[in-house]
């Protein structure tokens, strides 16, 4: 049955007192086992009390998410992880450098967190968000907030309240509208293997290079940049699921914009859209007049591309396109996060021109 959804407008510019007054009713919903969608610096989260199996179960139902795909628990300060997970020196080295911020760390779970939250695993993902609305909501609720991205499973993660309202109205108690998310791609996820040794499970704003600069050894999980083989077990259950797929067929292009224009001109049977770097838009417009073009931002500006990617993928869905071409990103720095999301959105379809 549909739930009545209340939308609250909030801003990170409010004073502590104003923010507390505004968020207290939402924190109360969390304490009572309800669902609250809230902004973070990465994407919007779909939150519930992570220490309650019943509340966590509501998240899976609202998202249509398989129950073996674990949730991230969100804490207000890095040391709050102690209540829920077994920490270590390496955890605190990472926390000191990157928390609060867009980093999630996988740690052994304590029995304060039900297996419903961890998807049955004996580890738990811990993240401490920087966004003031998220951080204050968690502190006020007095618990760890379990929150996946606030989208229906399989659609792009929501990076503004309109996306959340479109996916979650009738499925959650409260949506907190805090405007656009700063970064726009989900947090970096690492698993601590041994002291000073981590595996990167999902790339994000905190890059491999950032973590290596702490003197740590980083292995990148194969599924970050390659297709999972049929007999391979995903280190992070989320890696095995289809993700972010737009309705049209998305193809990534490893080649020049001129070569792409030649290819599109050679087959006029399909309704085609192009996601292009700003610098390439004049070429596309002059060679393919009338074609639908989405501005991905300047070629070297991975921050703006990260900010726009999920919005663009959602936009393409409202345009009845058959085929969309997008540039294949590089894998340096934040590029790896873009590459990871885009090869999955494209179901690994890459053409070399």
> Which residues would be at the binding site for ligand TXA (CB under 6 A)?
40, 42-43, 45, 69-72, 104, 106, 118, 121, 123-125, 127, 147-149, 186-187, 189, 201, 236-238
Q: Pick between residue 156 and residue 327 the one whose CB is nearest to ligand TXA.
A: 156
Q: Decide which of Mg ion, ligand TXA, none touches 29; Cβ closer than 5 to 8 Å per partner kind.
A: none
3-state secondary structure of 32: coil
Q: Decide which of Mg ion, ligand TXA, none touches 181; Cβ closer than 5 to 8 Å per partner kind.
A: none
What is the spatial distance between Cα 78 and Cα 94, in angstroms, rounded to a whole number?
10
CA distances from 233 to 147, 222, 223, 240, 289 (A): 24, 11, 10, 8, 46
- Are β-strands 188-194 and 197-202 bridged in parallel, bridged antiparallel, or unpaired? antiparallel
Q: Decide which of Mg ion, ligand TXA, none touches 131; Cβ closer than 5 to 8 Å per partner kind.
A: none
> How many residues line the site for Mg ion (CB under 5 A)?
1
Q: Decide which of Mg ion, ligand TXA, none touches 167; Cβ closer than 5 to 8 Å per partner kind.
A: none
CA distances from 73 to 6, 77, 117, 144, 309 (A): 23, 12, 8, 6, 25
Closest distance to ligand TXA from the beta carbon of 162 (Å): 17
CA distances from 88 to 117, 197, 213 (A): 22, 12, 19
Q: Crossing angle, helix 161-168 and helix 302-317, to 10 degrees?
A: 30
In this chain, which residue has its C-beta nearest to Mg ion?
149
Mark residues 121-150: x for contact with Mg ion by CB under 5 A, - for none.
----------------------------x-
Q: Decide which of Mg ion, ligand TXA, none touches 101; Cβ closer than 5 to 8 Å per partner kind.
A: none
Applying CB under 5 A, does 42 fall inside the site for Mg ion?
no
Binding stretches for Mg ion (CB under 5 A): 149
């Amino acid at each position: 049955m549909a739930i009545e959804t209340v939308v609250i407008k909030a801003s990170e510019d409010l004073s502590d007192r104003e923010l507390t007054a505004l968020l207290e009713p939402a924190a109360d919903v969390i304490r009572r086992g309800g669902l609250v969608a809230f902004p973070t610096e990465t994407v919007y989260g779909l939150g519930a009390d992570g220490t309650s199996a019943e509340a966590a179960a509501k998240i899976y139902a609202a998202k249509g998410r398989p129950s073996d795909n674990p949730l991230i628990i969100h804490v207000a300060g890095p040391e709050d992880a102690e209540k829920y997970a077994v920490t270590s020196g390496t955890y605190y080295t990472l926390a000191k450098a990157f928390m609060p911020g867009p980093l999630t760390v996988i740690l052994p779970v304590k029995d304060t967190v039900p297996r419903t939250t961890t998807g049955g695993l004996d580890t738990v993902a811990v993240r401490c968000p920087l966004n003031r609305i998220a951080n204050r909501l968690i502190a006020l609720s007095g618990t760890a907030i379990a929150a996946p991205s606030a989208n229906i499973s399989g659609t792009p993660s929501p990076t503004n309240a309109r996306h959340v309202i479109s996916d979650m109205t009738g499925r959650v108690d409260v949506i907190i509208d805090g405007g656009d998310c700063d970064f726009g791609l989900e947090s970096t996820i690492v698993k601590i293997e041994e002291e000073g040794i981590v595996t990167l499970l999902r790339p994000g704003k905190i890059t491999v290079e950032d973590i290596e600069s702490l003197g740590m050894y980083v292995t990148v999980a194969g599924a970050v940049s390659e297709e999972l083989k049929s007999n391979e077990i995903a280190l992070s259950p989320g890696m095995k699921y289809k993700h972010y797929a737009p309705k049209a067929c998305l193809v990534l292009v490893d080649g020049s914009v001129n070569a792409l224009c030649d290819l599109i001109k050679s087959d006029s049977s399909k309704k085609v859209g192009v996601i292009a770097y700003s610098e390439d838009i004049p070429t596309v417009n002059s060679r393919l007049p009338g074609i639908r073009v989405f501005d991905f931002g300047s070629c070297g500006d991975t921050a703006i591309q990260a900010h726009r990617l999920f919005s663009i993928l959602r936009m393409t869905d409202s345009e009845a396109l058959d085929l969309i071409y997008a540039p294949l990103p590089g894998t340096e720095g934040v590029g790896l996060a873009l590459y990871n999301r885009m090869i999955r959105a494209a179901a690994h379809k890459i053409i070399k021109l």
